[in-house]
A and B are shown apart, each in its own frame.
Chain A
Amino acid sequence: MTTGAETGERSRSRGQRTELFWALLFLSPWLAGFLVFTAGPMIASLALSFTDYDVLNSPSWTGLENYVELFRDENVVQSLGNTFFYAALHVPLSMGIALGLASLLQRAGRRANLFRTTFYLPSITPAVAVGVLWFWLLNPQVGLVNRGLHLIGIQGPGWTTDPAWIKPGIVLMSLWGLGNTVVIYYAALRNVPKELNDAAVVDGANSWQQFRYVTIPQISGVLFFTLIVGTIAALQLFAEVYTMYFRGQASGVSDEARFYIIYLFQQAFEFFRMGFASAMAWLLFVIIMIITAIQIKLSKRWVYYEGETG
């Protein structure tokens, strides 16, 4: 903030007041939207989380009952477990593979753009289409995944039928969409000053050491950003899995595929338990804040900021 400049220009306070008027005018869409679509709903959902509310009848106060139920409802506990399991696999795998592919792109010369395009295409495919497609690619009998595994002599698992393999199958599907991250990392890698690597070579670093001690610190800001954003997104996975396993599709395995937002959606808009669903939403919010805080804390150990990098 520029308080110093402001006090120095007190003589022009009238002009400043008009400027403040204009500033508020420009900010007014956001201010209104913040009140109506963010702050208001946040307070409302917090309040609703202490009530029973089915939309038709007015809410009735139930105190902490919804929160107590959160921990008694097996589906909440399991869906939370499913979601953590998915995020714990998806986030590191997609970051690692994306970084590998981005480094390959960096060595690909002129062809890099073509490959980058190819990697990105799944990211613009509608989630429902992704769900339909992968439900069949993962099919244990006729799916391409198991046919491919068969070619190299592996008997593929029941990705869509065996409870133990449902979530790994979903992780596999999610990795098809990592092109976004590849594009981000590739851009970051190209911004690493070449002199740094040259200096490392002069100091006798091999290519792994260059990567580990020069490249990684240089792009750590970007890695950190994708870690935070990727984790938050992974905890809210919905459309692909809902398409694959819910509403009519392959029932029986759906316990394993019931992710947190899916259960929340069902509670809110299929059973109209708005109060309970609001409590679920706040639990997720608290979880996300805790995880993000931990990640920020840990980042001080590995994220390297140079001036205003990141």
Chain B
Amino acid sequence: MAVQRQGLDRSIGMGASKAGEATVTMPSPRKEKKPTSPWVAAALVGVSVLFLIPFLWLLAASLKTRSEVFGPEVIPHPFAWNNYSQVWRIAPVLRWFFNSVLVGALAAGSVVISSALVAFGFAYFRFRGRGVLFGLVLATMMLPGAVTMIPTFLIWDYLGWTNTQVPLWAHNLFGSAFYTFMLRQFFLTIPRDLFEAARVDGANYLQVWWRIAMPLSKPALIVVALFEFKASWTDLLRPLIYLSEEAQFTLPLGLKTLLDQFGAHGIQAWELVMAASVISTIPMLVLFFVAQRHFVEGISTTGIK
């Protein structure tokens, strides 16, 4: 117990020194802002530490030996780097990684194009029944996925596309209600004169959409792509329904399979399960840090999940 305590104290101690840094820094230069109160800073640092500890614990566990995985050490001793090479050997992790990237890219790419097309239709054209149709788009956002899940499965089964990755992304070719709503809002902010001017210059509507509306909406399109990629990357239900061959798996389904094989009822090789969890988490974190601004702007403006 004493050792455990020390371990936790150490990690909390690290947090406290961060708190010191945060409060010592110069007060923010904005004119009317008061300097951050030490209580606010301490609370924020404390909560941040709570949010970060699980990540650090996961990373540490993935680098421990099998007998030590759930031990109290904060820093693995010794570092079991070969957990990662072993995961690589026992499961086609690289294959799953590429599957996830491919499915995510197809899902994101198709949903961006199709939703933007539909959104432009709703934003630009004025026709009878537009309000009703757009209301229908919004209404479908409330529909729980479970209602359409089974017949959709039967459709793909009928087409012979179960056991392929097609059902994981192909529905995105038909647009998504949420992104359509979001992109329509964005298109409405573009001055209509720009479109009319292109029309006068002889462009047809498709060209107006592709050459004027799309380039001007790049930030919104990036947000849509990022969110859809994230949704696809973290999805378990669809792969679980549609995929049965290991070579087709995406990372979440692969990880779940590893968990069932090597974790609970298997050889209790939890260090490998932890390593696989890290592998499935890191790419998204990297993407997030690269595209952080877009993520945050996207959520702030749309309230998307």
A residues engaging B (CB < 8 A)? Answer: 1-3, 5-6, 16, 19-20, 22-27, 29-30, 32-34, 36-38, 40-42, 44-45, 48, 55, 101, 104-105, 107-111, 113, 115-122, 124-129, 132-134, 136-137, 139, 142, 144, 147-148, 150-151, 176, 179-180, 183-184, 186-187, 194, 222, 225-226, 229, 232-233, 235-236, 238-239, 242-243, 247-250, 261, 264-265, 268-269, 274, 277-278, 280-282, 284-285, 288-289, 292
Cβ-based interface call for B101 (8 A): no
Which residues of chain B from 19 to 47 have a CB within 8 Å of any chain A CB?
22, 25, 27-28, 30, 32-33, 35-37, 40-41, 43-44, 47
Cβ-based interface call for B197 (8 A): no
Known: A26-B121, A29-B174, A126-B284. A2 touches B126 (CB 8 A): yes
Cβ-based interface call for B137 (8 A): yes
B255 near A132: Cβ-Cβ < 8 Å: yes
A249 near B259: Cβ-Cβ < 8 Å: yes
Picked from A5, A119, A225, A264, the residue with its CB within 8 Å of the CB of B146 is A264
Which A residues lie within 8 Å of B28 (CB)?
Answer: 109-110
Which B residues lie within 8 Å of A248 (CB)?
Answer: 259-260, 263-265
Query: In the complex the two chains form, what is the Cα distance from A3 to B129 in whole Å?
Result: 10
B43 near A183: Cβ-Cβ < 8 Å: no
Cβ-based interface call for B195 (8 A): no
B236 near A236: Cβ-Cβ < 8 Å: no
Cβ-based interface call for B117 (8 A): yes
B51 near A176: Cβ-Cβ < 8 Å: yes
Query: In the complex the two chains form, what is the Cα distance from A248 to B234 in whole Å?
Result: 21
Stretch from B76-84, B217-225, B273-281 at the A interface: B273-281
Picked from B40, B57, B149, B295, the residue with its CB within 8 Å of the CB of A104 is B40
Query: In the complex the two chains form, what is the Cα distance from A41 to B174 in whole Å?
Result: 15
Picked from A19, A55, A117, the residue with its CB within 8 Å of the CB of B127 is A19
A128 near B147: Cβ-Cβ < 8 Å: no
Which B residues lie within 8 Å of A268 (CB)?
Answer: 149-150, 153
B150 near A277: Cβ-Cβ < 8 Å: yes
Contact indicator per residue, chain B 132-143, by CB within 8 Å of chain A (1) or not (0): 010011001011
Query: In the complex the two chains form, what is the Cα distance from A280 to B149 in whole Å?
Result: 12
Cβ-based interface call for B191 (8 A): no
A179 near B51: Cβ-Cβ < 8 Å: yes
A37 near B41: Cβ-Cβ < 8 Å: no
Which A residues lie within 8 Å of B10 (CB)?
Answer: none
Main DSSP-derived SS at the A contact region: helix
Expressed in whole angstroms, the minimum distance between the Cβ of A111 and any Cβ of chain B is: 6
Cβ-based interface call for B299 (8 A): yes
Cβ-based interface call for B5 (8 A): yes
Cβ-based interface call for B215 (8 A): no
Picked from B54, B70, B128, the residue with its CB within 8 Å of the CB of A133 is B54
Nearest-neighbor residue (CB-CB) of B204 within chain A: A22
Expressed in whole angstroms, the minimum distance between the Cβ of A95 and any Cβ of chain B is: 13
B299 near A184: Cβ-Cβ < 8 Å: yes
B236 near A128: Cβ-Cβ < 8 Å: yes
Known: A26-B118, A249-B264. A108 touches B148 (CB 8 A): no
Picked from B44, B173, B255, the residue with its CB within 8 Å of the CB of A111 is B44
What are 23 pairs between A and B in contact, CB < 8 Å?
A: A1-B131, A25-B205, A29-B117, A29-B175, A30-B118, A33-B175, A37-B174, A44-B154, A45-B148, A104-B44, A109-B35, A119-B51, A124-B234, A125-B285, A127-B234, A148-B8, A151-B5, A184-B300, A187-B301, A249-B263, A268-B153, A280-B146, A281-B147
Which B residues lie within 8 Å of A20 (CB)?
Answer: 125, 127
Query: In the complex the two chains form, what is the Cα distance from A261 to B36 in whole Å?
Result: 44
Which B residues lie within 8 Å of A32 (CB)?
Answer: 174
Picked from B36, B118, B152, the residue with its CB within 8 Å of the CB of A41 is B152
Which A residues lie within 8 Å of B173 (CB)?
Answer: 29, 33
B residues engaging A (CB < 8 A)? Answer: 1, 4-5, 8, 22, 25, 27-28, 30, 32-33, 35-37, 40-41, 43-44, 47-48, 51-55, 57-58, 61, 70-72, 114, 117-118, 120-122, 124-131, 133, 136-137, 140, 142-155, 157, 171, 173-175, 180, 204-206, 209, 230, 233-237, 240-241, 251-253, 255-256, 259-260, 263-265, 270, 273-274, 277-278, 280-281, 284-285, 288, 292, 295-296, 299-301, 303, 305
Which B residues lie within 8 Å of A236 (CB)?
Answer: 144-146
B127 near A144: Cβ-Cβ < 8 Å: no
Expressed in whole angstroms, the minimum distance between the Cβ of B228 and any Cβ of chain A is: 13
B252 near A126: Cβ-Cβ < 8 Å: yes
A261 near B146: Cβ-Cβ < 8 Å: yes
Known: A120-B296, A236-B144, A281-B150. A243 touches B125 (CB 8 A): no
Expressed in whole angstroms, the minimum distance between the Cβ of A293 and any Cβ of chain B is: 11
A292 near B51: Cβ-Cβ < 8 Å: no
A187 near B144: Cβ-Cβ < 8 Å: no
A239 near B237: Cβ-Cβ < 8 Å: yes
Q: Which of B131, B175, B206, B270 has the most CB of A within 10 A?
A: B175
A126 near B152: Cβ-Cβ < 8 Å: no
A238 near B150: Cβ-Cβ < 8 Å: no
Nearest-neighbor residue (CB-CB) of A122 within chain B: B51
Q: A26-B118, A44-B154, A124-B284 provided; 18 other pairs, C-beta below 8 A?
A: A16-B127, A33-B171, A33-B174, A40-B151, A42-B147, A109-B27, A109-B28, A109-B30, A109-B35, A110-B28, A111-B22, A118-B51, A127-B234, A236-B144, A248-B259, A274-B150, A277-B150, A284-B144
